[in-house]
């Protein structure tokens, strides 16, 4: 029922196309089926191929932005890859982002024996990507009024607490070597699939892109998306920060109060199509306004 109501809301506002939340959840499950997507792993390589093929099937121009990444947990240096999907040739463009890698260690797991195991990354990794893969299907069937670039950042989640620069490697490289036209604004989605979804405003977004935050949250109110809370909860070092530093207005949509964050229990059963649908509907409404 929730999905049906939300889809109608999405269609009524600026005639945005529908968002298939069940198919998006299938994209989440498909990513997790590859196993951990740690840069340099077999699962990572298989998932990369899946992501590129899915975007290509949606008619996007797909590019891979490669960079070298040293994992601080293993000291291995491997090639990491940002995946960029471009829709339309309009001068006015927006940027939609998520990270697609998964954390190599479950260092916040309550069981000490699990803390050297990799994180499955259903919510923290697959959820944002799943929404953007489904967005690409809508863009394919309903050409938007604005150009859209989707970027899936790699090597976001291998960092070490206390070392800020060890996180968000893909977005740091992207912001230094911008391979797309300068966008009007960027929206990052991260950990937006959990069943008990609440998305307060993120502190750095509110501090450095307040007009964009207000616009996004007003649209969420217009759509009746009550999981978007109109107050700041956390300041999160995430992939939007390098974009902000590059002068791009950017907002991070994130539910950071997720009890399975960086644990081996971050699995698809902790996520729901309804949560993916809420975020997808909001993004489509903004794209097609």
Q: With the CA atoms of 182, 185, 188 and 194 taken in that order, what torsion angle do they form, in degrees rounded to the nearest 10? A: -150
Is residue 5 over pLDDT 60? no
The Cα 175–Cα 160 span in angstroms is 21
Instruction: State the pLDDT confidence band at 11, using cuts at 50, 70 and 90.
Output: very low
Is residue 1 over pLDDT 50? no
Mean pLDDT over the full length of the chain: 95
pLDDT at position 162, please? 87
Is residue 249 over pLDDT 70? yes
Count of all residues that appear for the chain in the document: 289
DSSP 3-state of 131: helix
pLDDT at position 15, please? 87
Sorted by where each starts, the structural domains of the chain and their CATH numbers stand as: 2-287 (3.40.630.10)
Is residue 226 over pLDDT 90? yes
Q: Averaged over 249-254, what is the pLDDT? A: 99
pLDDT digits (tens, 9 = 90+) for 20-50: 999 999 999 999 999 999 999 999 999 999 9
Instruction: State the pLDDT confidence band at 2, using cuts at 50, 70 and 90.
Output: very low
pLDDT at position 110, please? 98
- Select the more confidently predicted residue: 53 or 6: 53
pLDDT digits (tens, 9 = 90+) for 101-159: 999 999 999 999 999 999 999 999 999 999 999 999 999 999 999 999 999 999 999 99
pTM, entire model? 0.94
Q: Averaged over 251-280, what is the pLDDT? A: 99
> With contact defined as beta carbons under 8 Å apart, do 195 and 271 qualify?
yes
Burial class (CB in 10 A: 0-12, 13-18, 19+), 38: buried
Instruction: State the pLDDT confidence band at 90, using cuts at 50, 70 and 90.
Output: very high
Stretch (H or E) spanning 70: strand 61-70
Distances (CA, A) of 224 to 18, 109, 186, 217, 219: 16, 35, 22, 10, 9
């Amino acid at each position: 029922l929730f999905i049906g109501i939300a889809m109608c809301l999405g269609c009524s506002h600026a005639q945005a196309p529908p968002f298939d939340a069940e198919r998006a959840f299938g994209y989440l499950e498909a990513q997790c089926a590859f196993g951990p997507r740690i840069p340099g792993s077999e699962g990572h390589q298989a998932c990369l191929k899946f992501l590129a093929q899915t975007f290509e099937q949606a008619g996007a121009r797909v590019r891979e932005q490669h960079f070298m990444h040293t994992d601080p947990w293993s000291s291995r240096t491997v090639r990491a890859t940002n995946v960029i999907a471009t829709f339309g040739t309009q001068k006015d463009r927006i940027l939609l982002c998520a990270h697609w890698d998964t954390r190599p260690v479950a260092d916040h797991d309550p069981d000490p024996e699990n803390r050297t195991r990799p994180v499955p990354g259903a919510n923290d990794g697959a959820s944002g990507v799943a929404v953007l893969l489904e967005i690409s299907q809508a863009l394919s069937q309903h050409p938007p009024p604005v150009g859209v670039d989707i970027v899936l950042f790699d090597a976001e989640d291998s960092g070490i607490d206390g070392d800020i620069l060890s996180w968000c490697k893909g977005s740091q490289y992207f912001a230094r070597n911008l391979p797309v036209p300068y966008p009007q604004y960027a929206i990052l989605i991260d950990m937006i699939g959990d069943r008990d979804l609440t998305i307060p405003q993120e502190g750095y977004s509110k501090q450095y892109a307040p007009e964009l935050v207000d616009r996004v949250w007003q649209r969420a109110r217009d759509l009746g998306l009550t999981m978007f809370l109109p107050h700041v909860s956390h300041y999160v070092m995430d992939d939007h920060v390098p974009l902000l530093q590059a002068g791009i207005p950017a907002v991070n949509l994130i539910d950071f109060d997720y009890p399975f964050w960086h644990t081996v229990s971050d699995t698809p059963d902790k996520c729901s199509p309804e949560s993916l649908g809420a975020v997808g509907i909001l993004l489509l409404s903004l794209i097609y306004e």
